[in-house]
Structure 1
């Protein structure tokens, strides 16, 4: 178990199947694991009653069969009990394939709406939308900020669901944008995704956030990207060969959406963010 958790990439959701029989993965489970390999890593555990307290204390699993989804550091495990057929497992995987604060990667950029070649999550007719991106090296400091951003998401969600009279009016525009999928939050690995990180945060202090670690200083940074749909480009309907998000930045042709980047320089406190 420890080896599985240690070896799984930080961007992937960890999926653990508990069974009382120790059976091997069924054909449809193997197919699901292939379909979602870019999003998740899978493990299988034999449930023994004498080890039940370990699994409860570690993953909050009470019995088997069960499936556990481990997402961001510090986030409570998501547990489903019972047997799953193909359609039910596919549904659950689709619901849980991303972390609560997903990593911005080539495989996720389009569906997150954080790609100048694509569209907003709100739909192709949306002209302006936003992505708030947290960048930093894997570290306790980054984990703390990831938790802060998750709390910001929860605040915006609860603010939008509360009564108008109780709503903090300063949060209202962001809450509405978040609800309408015009605002997305994500993170990126400043070391593993150095080129992407440096592209957006290029400055004399970006080494504190992007690239290989040079000293003990790790400074996660937050920035906001505003995308504005290029309607002229849409009308031209120019077909392009698919590229990754980094290649798109280097492309000389006009992307379907323009980008305006603003760095956040405020405090790390949730109300301020």
Structure 2
């Protein structure tokens, strides 16, 4: 377990004693029938995954690989590249993909955030189960092509990144340390134009001088546009909004942000418990 905690920084670990007094709690809340048992807790609304019996090293590594990600993965420095939500990286669809999208639910830990995470989980499940001959939604198509990713962001732990992308008056209710009981999660979509198109543009437009060349080198290999959702929390409305963003982003020449983008703060410590 300690070795896994070192190898799987994207997961949090805790070892708990199962006492006779607490056996009914373990059964009712987590579905644990007996000890020893390994329980994978994911996000709100997702049933715990339980494995009963002793574990050897190879078997434990196998089930860690199967369960290491949340159903709705958390956007962190150690997951951003794999999720395709990093300005220095590429789409999950591959290095040659020019445009891709990352839907981010940002907020502090709260019932409101858990409710929206459950909503996004249902949306992701609905889009993932659409038949190939029924891919009428552009969101479903982009998800199947791996050009669309759904994720959530801890607005308190990643406050600078959160403020940078939300940029609204009440961001203090979404990002940064908790100030009062008000918590308003925000749903945003980051539209990224990758390195492939920028390389072509740079070849066509040579720098005029050394200063311009230096400034171009300081810009990230991808440019981004951010749109914020401000309508109802109905799943169908959110899917329509995402599909409209994808339609506009794929078909229109939009003015992308050409500046140094803010990156996620790395979490250095290993946490036991989540």
Scaled by the length of structure 2, what TM-score is found? Answer: 0.73
Distance in 2 separating the partners of 1:54 and 1:144: 24
- Residue 4 of structure 2 corresponds to 32
Q: Would you tell me which structure has more strand in proportion to its own residues?
A: 1
- Residue 139 of structure 1 corresponds to 110
Contact 1:132 1:224 in 2 (8 A): yes
- State the 1:185 CA deviation: 0.8
- Residue 24 of structure 1 corresponds to none
Contact 2:97 2:196 in 1 (8 A): no
Verify: 1:255 aligned to 2:226, yes or no: no
Verify: 1:43 aligned to 2:43, yes or no: no
Say which of 59, 68, 81 aligns to 1:97: 68
- State the 1:120 CA deviation: 1.2
Q: Count matched residues.
A: 223
RMSD (Å), alpha carbons: 2.4
Say which of 178, 181, 190 aligns to 1:225: 190
For structure 1, the 5+ residue unaligned runs are 1-28, 236-250
- Residue 98 of structure 2 corresponds to 127
Partner SS state of residue 175, structure 1: helix
Distance in 1 separating the partners of 2:88 and 2:225: 14
- State the 1:168 CA deviation: 7.0
- Residue 60 of structure 1 corresponds to 31
Distance in 2 separating the partners of 1:60 and 1:210: 34
- Residue 85 of structure 1 corresponds to 56
Distance in 2 separating the partners of 1:145 and 1:51: 31
- State the 1:53 CA deviation: 3.2
Say which of 156, 171, 180 aligns to 1:206: 171
- State the 1:176 CA deviation: 2.2
Larger RCO (CA within 8 A; separation ≥ 6)? 2
For structure 2, the 5+ residue unaligned runs are 201-215, 239-274
- State the 1:262 CA deviation: 0.9
Contact 2:10 2:68 in 1 (8 A): no
Q: Deviations over 1:135-190 (max 9, x none)?
A: 1122111111111111110111122xx363xx472x2x211221232111111122
- Residue 186 of structure 1 corresponds to 151
Partner SS state of residue 141, structure 2: helix
Contact 1:136 1:210 in 2 (8 A): yes
Question: Structure 1 stretch 133-142 or stretch 79-88: which is displaced more?
Answer: 79-88
- State the 1:39 CA deviation: 2.0
Q: Structure 1 residues 232 and 149 mapped into 2: Cα distance closer, same or farther (>3 Å)?
A: closer
Distance in 1 separating the partners of 2:197 and 2:129: 38
Scaled by the length of structure 1, what TM-score is found? Answer: 0.73
Distance in 1 separating the partners of 2:31 and 2:96: 43
